[in-house]
Amino acid sequence: MSAPRAKPRQILLSRRANIFYLEHARVLQRDERIVWLTESGEDVEQYFNLPERNTALLLLGKGTSITDAAMRRLAESNVLVGFCGSGGSPLFAVTEPVFLTPQSEYRPTEYMQSWVRLWMNDSHRLELAKALIAERISLTEKAWGRNADLLQRRIVLPPAAAEKLRQRSAAIADVQTLLLAEAEWARALYASLSAGYGLQFTRNEGAGARASKEDRINSFLDHGNYIAYGLAAVALNGLGISYAFPLLHGKTRRGALVFDIADLIKDAYVMPLAFECGADTRIKDNTFRARLIEVLQEADALDFLFGFVKTLSEKYP
């Protein structure tokens, strides 16, 4: 009697190289592999391999189906699967990320227990929110300072806005006021990018229009943000922390912590690339997504999110 086939070792979630977005495709298990095929209309179907053990996130766009066998194998490989609308934007507006999280009895518990203990303490929760804001500013400063396109256009992070947010957050005594300061910071970033690209940009989530460069930027922001939500969800799910314990976003939204963590990389990477690609009318959605995934991989964004969330959960021993 032959011994059972040993399963190959999984790559750590924080080190996985692949993020996939598929549309008008069928995802299935075939010969011990996960594959997908697209609607080509040809007699011979072409299958494409999806290396699930080196994949962190799979986004399924419109016209896409997945079999139960494929879903079961993806869950075994700890791959987060999300259903989204056209081009990677959320199917249900932009209110909450919809992900199918792998279920496991061996999900780590120590980070969730620590997070809940801190979250229940009002002063600790506020301090965690401030630490989140501080890291967001720091990462954005570093990323913008290394961005070749921004440097070429002489677009810099508004130093007054960064310093103002730092000073205000240190003195703020409640989350609502911190949110208002954060919104002012975001407006300053949009204004700096808009001026650098010679545009009159106003953020309009979920509009779906493509008539102008400003519309294209809004569309790319929607698409890019959903990828950021996916990476944040991967980090939180991998650490076993529920999405329902946010620091800044509304406590009544069960996915709010995903938004908080995704904000760390949205300002730094998604926003500049959305402006760069939106200003160039030749760039299509799939090109923007491919470039964003490459930028996030080069920046080790997923590994950073894992490390930062772990550090936050251990902030007050």
The reply to whether 124 sits in an annotated binding site is no
| Residue in 240, 243, 242, 222 with CA at minimum distance from that of residue 289 | 222
Q: According to the model, what pLDDT value does residue 9 have? A: 64
d(C-alpha 102, C-alpha 81), whole Å? 8
Asked whether 133 and 169 are in contact (CB, 8 A), the reply is yes
Q: According to the model, what pLDDT value does residue 91 have? A: 41
Asked whether 70 and 31 are in contact (CB, 8 A), the reply is no
Q: According to the model, what pLDDT value does residue 95 have? A: 40
Domain 114-313 has CATH 1.10.10.10: no
Q: According to the model, what pLDDT value does residue 93 have? A: 33
| Residue in 238, 221, 226 with CA at minimum distance from that of residue 305 | 238
d(C-alpha 47, C-alpha 147), whole Å? 37
Asked whether 20 and 58 are in contact (CB, 8 A), the reply is yes
**CA 278 from centroid of its chain's CA atoms:** 19
Q: According to the model, what pLDDT value does residue 83 have? A: 80
d(C-alpha 312, C-alpha 260), whole Å? 13
Q: pLDDT digit of tens for each residue in the chain (317 aa)?
A: 445 555 556 678 788 888 888 888 899 998 888 999 887 666 656 788 999 889 988 888 888 889 989 988 888 888 888 887 665 555 433 344 556 676 665 667 899 999 999 999 999 999 999 999 999 999 999 999 999 999 999 998 888 888 888 888 888 888 888 888 888 999 999 999 999 999 999 888 766 667 789 999 999 998 899 889 989 988 998 898 988 899 988 765 667 899 999 999 999 999 999 999 999 989 988 899 899 999 999 999 999 999 999 999 988 76
The reply to whether 23 sits in an annotated binding site is no
The reply to whether 24 sits in an annotated binding site is no
d(C-alpha 169, C-alpha 42), whole Å? 59
